[in-house]
Amino acid sequence: MANEVVLLDFWPSMFGMRVRIALAEKGIKYEYKEEDLKNKSPLLLEMNPINKKIPVLIHNGKPVCESLIIVQYIDEVWNDKSPLLPSEPYQRAQARFWADFVDKKVYGASRKVWSTTGEEEEAGKKEFFEILKTLEVELGDKPYFGGETFGYVDLSFITFYSWFHAYEVLGNINIEAECPKIIAWAKRCLQKESVAKTLPDQKKVYEFVAQMRKRFVSE
């Protein structure tokens, strides 16, 4: 059977980017379909009726939803090259733990940085830096979260880097000053073709986020 792979996505989504990087790492050819989230396609609603969210990977007509579940699926199906998760169970559990940490913590805190003001924003910034510093400790002196090579945790977090410029301008923060190791790690990741070709231009993301901010904050 021909391997038909379709990705329903939205260009600034850090969750969708994770899937794009995984597909690039594995060298998988796929059809990219851009969704208008204000006007979701019948295909998206059919393929993800529960959450109605992107990204959705459609493999030979069958949908897989939730970015980290999709990445694990890709790693398991296309298991002949570029493993994303470690092979040893304890290291796999650690990788899953930290990707889960990124999921549970980074988005929520970062959202407060760009979509709120005043005390709520200040609290959000504090939380955001605490989370990044926890990740810095976990990274330690390793080149990647995965150790010597780019892996699952790197993939799950690097996509947020495309939003850093937006956080900095809208939140009036300096991420490199607070967390230099994270920025050094991000630049290292960007040397990988799969990452460099996937992450959108930071200024383009900033314009998008600035527009979104208007819905939450009147300035």
Partner 1 sequence: MAKNDVKVLGAWPSPYVMRPRIALNIKSVNYEFLEETFGSKSELLLQSNLVHKKIPVLIHGDKPICESMIIVEYIDEVWTSGPSILPSDPYDRAIQRFWAAYVDEKWFAAMKGLRSAQGEERKAFLDQVIEGLALLEEAFGKCSKGKAFFGRDRIGLLDIAFGSFLAWLKVTEKVNGVKLLDEAKTPGLVKWAERFCADAAVKSVMPETEKLLEFSKFLAAKMKGAPPPKN
Interface with partner 1 (CB under 8 A): 50-51, 59, 62, 64-66, 69-70, 72-73, 76-77, 89-90, 92-93, 96-97, 100-101, 134
CB of 96 to partner 1, least distance (A): 5
CB of 213 to partner 1, least distance (A): 26
- Whichever of 77 and 184 has its CB closer to partner 1, that residue is 77
CB of 156 to partner 1, least distance (A): 14
Q: What is the maximal distance between C-alpha atoms in the chain?
A: 56
The answer to whether 50 and 43 have CB atoms below 8 angstroms apart is no
- Whichever of 31 and 100 has its CB closer to partner 1, that residue is 100
CA distance 124 to 111: 8
C-alpha 111: how far from chain center = 14
CA distance 57 to 19: 8
- Whichever of 38 and 62 has its CB closer to partner 1, that residue is 62
The torsion angle over the Cα atoms of residues 208, 214, 215 and 219, rounded to 10 degrees, is 170
- Whichever of 10 and 101 has its CB closer to partner 1, that residue is 101
